[in-house]
Copies of this chain bind each other. A is one copy, B any other.
Amino acid sequence: MSPKYVYFFGNGVADGKADMKHLLGGKGANLAEMTNLGIPVPPGFTITTEVCDAYYKNNKQYPDGLTEEIEQNLSRLENLMGAKLGDAENPLLVSVRSGAAASMPGMMDSVLNLGLNPDAIEGLIKKTGNERFAWDAYRRFITMFGDVVMDVERHYFEEILDKHKKKVRAKSDTDLNAEHLKSIVEDFKVIYKKKTSEDFPNDPKIQLQKAINAVFASWNNQRALKYRQLYEIKGLLGTAVNVQSMVFGNMGNHSATGVCFTRNPSTGENKFYGEFLINAQGEDVVAGIRTPEPIEDLEKEMPEVYNQLVKYKNTLENHFKDVQDIEFTIQENRLFMLQTRNGKRTARAAIKFAVDMTKEGLIDKKTAISRIDPNQLDQLLHPTFDPKAKREVIAVGLPASPGAATGKVVFSAEDAEKLSEKREKVILVRKETSPEDIGGMHVSQGILTTRGGMTSHAAVVARGMGKCCVAGCGSVIVDYKSQTFKVDSKVVTRGDYISIDGSTGEVMLGQVSTVQPSLSGDFATLMEWADEIRILKVRTNADTPEDAKRARELGAEGIGLCRTEHMFFGENRIDSVRQMILSAPDVKNLKARIAILEKDLAKSANNKTNTIKKELMQAKRELKEPLNLYKSALNNLLPMQRKDFEQIFESMDGLPVTIRLLDPPLHEFLPQEDYNQKEMAKKMKIGLQEVQEKVSAMHELNPMLGHRGCRLGVTFPEIYDMQVQAIIEAACNMKKKGVTVYPEIMLPIISIEQEFVILKDDVHRIAKEIMQKKGMQIDYMVGTMIELPRAALIADKIAKHAEFFSFGTNDLTQMTFGFSRDDVGSFVPDYIEKNILEKDPFQVLDQEGVGQLVDIGIKRGRSTRPNLKVGICGEHGGNPQTIHFCNKVGMDYVSCSPFRIPIARLAAAQASLQQPILQTTV
C-alpha cells in the first residue's frame, strides 16, 4: 500500500493535526488542527512534504497514486462546497500555497483564485453578482500564475496595467471598472502567450497541476535556499502544498481581511493586537497601498464577527499555549481563519509572554525558559537607535559589538582621549586597533575599523567593554595623513559626526538619536528561574573594577578572566612598562653572561684568569644601568597593579577572581608609529634611533605564535614575580578589610609540563614570602589556560600540577585551524558562502575539531586530578550553542563579556534542560 499523500480538512473534521508539521508543513498542520477545534476554516487538502521529497528524488515525477488521491480529495472538496472547479454556474476557486515545517515567510510561492477560466468567470459573476470583483480576481490570477508558474516576469503584467490606467486616467487600481479589467485580462493573455509560447490554460485541472509543480519548484529557488542557509533550517523533506477553497475579503463592505496577534508582539502586553482592511484581499494588506485599521475598530464595524474572532483567538492561544499570529478573512459577514502560527516577537515581548503565561498557569517555568532565544536578549542589553530616526547609511561593515553610538570622528586613540577630556563624544575610526589604542577605545562611544573580522582586536575588546563596534568595513578608506575617510566620493573629516550601529554594521552620516535599554522586572524574574535550573556557573571576563561591578549586577558569579595587560596601558603606566621592556633583555643577557663568566673563572687556568676577571668586572658594570631601570620600572608598576587587584577583589567580594598573568608579546606595548616613537624617545631620554632599533629587534613575523604569555614568564621572571606579588599583597590587604578573596592565578599559553612547573613554583615561592611577611593565609589557586593543542594533548601531565583549567578557545581555534582571527576576513566569508564552513569558528565553537581537543583536555586533565575545576574564557563562552557544548563536556563554568552574562545564564539553563547531566565535580 502506498503511503497517504493527501490530508483533507473541512467541516469540523481533518485527517491531520498540529503535531504533524513535519509531514503537512506548519500551515497545513495548523489548518487541520483549527478544523478539528471547530474553528471555521475554508475546507481544502494538504499534499504532504513526502511528496515534495519523492518528486525531487524521482526526477520531478509524481509518485504513483498521487494523481488519483488528488482527484479524490478534489471531488470531496467540490462535494463539500457544492461547487466545481471551472463550473459556469457555481465555480470553485482555490488557493494553492506552499507551507514547510519551518516558517520561511515569503520565500516560496502561492497561487490564488485558481480555477478561473471563461466559463468560471460567468459562474463567479452569477454567484457574486459582482462583475468587477470577478474580473479583478481573474487578472490577479493570471498575473500570479504567469509569474509563479510560468516565470513570466511580473513587470510585464504591471506595465500593461499601468498603460490601461493611464489611458483611462485611473489613479489607483480601484478606479478601474469591470470593462477595463476585462480588456486588461485580454492583454494579459496576449503577453502570456508571447512569453510562454502557449495559450493561458483554461482547464482548471491543468492549472492545478502546474500550480502544484510550481510550489514544489519554489522549495529550491534561490531565495528559499539562501533563507534556509541563513537560518540554518535543515533536515526538512520539502514543502507541503495546501489546496484550499478561496474565501474573499474583497466582496464588498461586509468583507474584510486581517492579521492579528493574541498579544502585543512588540511590547508583550496581554492585549489583542492586529489590523484589518475592509473589502480587500490579503495581498492588499501586504502591498501597503491602503492603511489598515487597528483590530479594535472591527468591534464597531462588525461586532458579532469581532466577538467570534476574540473567542477563536482565545481558543487558539489556550490550545497552543503560545501567542498566535493569525490570518483571517471575512467574506460577507462570515469569519474564516486562514492560518495560525506561533507569533514572532521582540526580545522584550518574548520575556513578558513567558513570564506572564507562567504566572497565568498556562506554561511552567521550564517551558518559559526554553521559549526564549538567548541571542535575542542582546537587543535588551545595549542602547539602540530610535527606530523612528532617519538614517543616512553610507557603508555597512561587520556587526562586531552590538549597540548604537554617535560621535565626532577621530583617527587616533590620543585624539580620542584629548577630545573626550573636553566632554566631546567621539567615534574612533582606525584601519585596525592594537592594544595601545585601548585607552582611546575606552573613552570613545564606538569604534569603526576598516579591517579585521568579528574577532579582531577591535571587536573582541569592544565586546569586552560592552562598547559598540563596526569592524572590517572595507568600503571606508581611511587616510590618516589628511585625517579623513572616504566612502565612494563622500569624504568625512575629523570632527564630523557619524553614527554606527553595532547590531547591523551600518555606518551613518550625522547624529542619529538613540534609545536606552531598560531591564524590566520580568527580565529579572526569568533570570532567577534560569538560575534555578542551570548547572554551569557563569563568570565574566572583566579587566576593570567598573566592568566587574557591572558584570556582578548582571549576575556574574566571579571573574573567569581578568587580563592584566590592559592595565598596563594606563596614562601613568605605559612609560614604566616601556622602561621595563627596554631594559629587560639587557638585564637578562648580562646576567646570563655573568653566570657563565663566574663559572669559567672558577675553573680557569692561570693564563686565563685575569682576562675573565676583567670581563666579569666589565659585565657587572654594564649590568648596573639596565638593572636599575628595570627594577625601578617594576617598582613603579607594583603599587598600581596592587591597587587594580584590590579594587577588583573588593567588587567581587566572596567570589573567585581568575587573574591571567601578562600575555601579549612585549612589543605590543611599544609605539609603532613614528610620532609616538619620537615622543617615547623624548620621555625616556634616549635617541629615536635607539627606540627604533629596539622596536625593530622585537618585531615578530607571527606575534600570535611568538614570545608571549608564559614564555615571558620564563625569560623575564621578574615581571610575573611582580604581578604575583601585587595579587597576593592585594588579597592580604583586602582580607584585612573583611573582604573575602579567592584569587586564581592563571598562566597563559602553557604548552609544556615543565613550563608550568617552573612558573607555578615561582608563584608559590613569592606567595609564601608575602603571606609570611603579612602573617596571613590566602586561599589561592594556580592554574592554566588550555589554549594550545599541545596543552590539551598533555592535559593529564599538566593537571598533575595545575589546580584549574580555563579553555582559551580563541587561541585554541586559531591553532587548531591555523587561522589568525585578525586575518581570516579575506577567506572565511567565502568559506561560509561555499558551505565549507557552516559558521565562523571564532563565533561558534567548532565542535568537530576544536571541540575534540576541549573534550580530550577535560578528560585527560580529570584523569590525574578528578576535582579539576574547568571553565572556558574564550569569546565562545557567551555563545549559546557553545554553552550547550560546555555543559555537555562537563565544564564547571563559562566566562563571557559582562553584557552577555544574562544570555549565558539563560543558555546554561536551556542546556541543563536538554542535557540534565550529573556533574562529577563541584
Contacts and interface: CB of A to CB of B under 8 A. Distances in A.
Interface stretch (A3-11, A182-190, A317-325, A844-852): A844-852
Interface stretch (A485-493, A574-582, A827-835): A827-835
A849 to B, nearest CB: 4
Contact of A155 (B154, B432, B609, B830): B609
Contact of A827 (B154, B602, B714, B850): B714
A586 interface: no
Contacts of A158: 605-606
B703 A701 contact: yes
Contacts of A705: 702, 704-705, 814, 818-820, 823
A831 B701 contact: no
A664 to B, nearest CB: 12
B715 A826 contact: yes
Contacts of A837: 752, 754
A826 B704 contact: no
A884 interface: no
A704 B848 CA distance: 23
Contacts of A846: 790
Contact of A790 (B153, B793, B816, B827): B816
Contacts of A711: 827
A223 interface: yes
A765 B618 CA distance: 70
A438 to B, nearest CB: 17
Interface string A500-536: 0000000000000000000000000000000000000
A758 interface: yes
Contacts of A820: 700-706
A701 B823 contact: yes
A853 interface: yes
A2 interface: no
Nearest to A609: B155
Nearest to A705: B820
A822 B155 contact: no
A707 interface: yes
A792 B715 CA distance: 32
A432 to B, nearest CB: 8
A794 interface: yes
Contacts of A605: 154-155, 158
A818 B788 contact: yes
Given A606-B158, A790-B849, A836 B222 contact: no
A518 to B, nearest CB: 39
B702 A822 contact: yes
Interface range on chain A: under 10, 10 to 19, 20 to 34, or 35 or more? Answer: 35 or more
Contacts of A707: 823-824, 826-827
A283 interface: no
Nearest to A755: B836
A748 B137 CA distance: 61
A848 B122 CA distance: 87
B818 A754 contact: no
Contacts of A749: 818
A290 to B, nearest CB: 19
A227 interface: no
A751 interface: yes
Nearest to A848: B794
Nearest to A588: B830
A895 B41 CA distance: 74
Contacts of A793: 816, 849, 852-853
A754 B836 contact: yes
Nearest to A700: B823
Contacts of A794: 848-849
A850 B751 CA distance: 11
A831 B752 CA distance: 10
A683 interface: no
A599 interface: yes
A856 to B, nearest CB: 9
Which of A605, A814, A826 neighbours the largest number of chain B CB atoms within 10 Å of its CB?
Answer: A826
A773 interface: no
A815 interface: yes
Nearest to A698: B826
B159 A222 contact: no
Interface in A757-803: 758, 787-790, 793-794
A602 B221 CA distance: 11
A621 interface: no
A787 B794 CA distance: 19
Interface string A833-866: 0111100000000101110110000000000000
Which of A702, A751, A824 neighbours the largest number of chain B CB atoms within 10 Å of its CB?
Answer: A702
Contact of A834 (B606, B700, B714, B830): B714
A714 B830 contact: yes
Contacts of A603: 222-223
Interface in A304-326: none
A654 to B, nearest CB: 35
Contact of A714 (B752, B836, B853): B836
A99 to B, nearest CB: 20
Nearest to A838: B754
Contact of A702 (B153, B823, B850): B823
A33 interface: no
A811 interface: yes
A831 B159 contact: no
Interface in A156-176: 158-159
Nearest to A696: B431
Contacts of A788: 816-818
A765 to B, nearest CB: 16
Given A702-B702, A707-B823, A789-B816, 19 more contacts: A154-B605, A158-B606, A700-B823, A701-B823, A702-B820, A703-B820, A703-B823, A704-B705, A704-B820, A705-B818, A706-B820, A714-B831, A715-B830, A752-B817, A758-B836, A787-B818, A790-B849, A793-B816, A815-B815
17 contacts: A155-B606, A701-B704, A702-B703, A705-B705, A705-B820, A706-B826, A707-B826, A707-B827, A715-B826, A751-B817, A751-B849, A752-B831, A754-B836, A755-B836, A788-B816, A790-B846, A815-B816
Q: Name the 9 nearest CB pairs between A and B, nearest first.
A: A155-B606, A705-B820, A702-B820, A790-B849, A706-B823, A789-B789, A788-B818, A707-B826, A700-B823
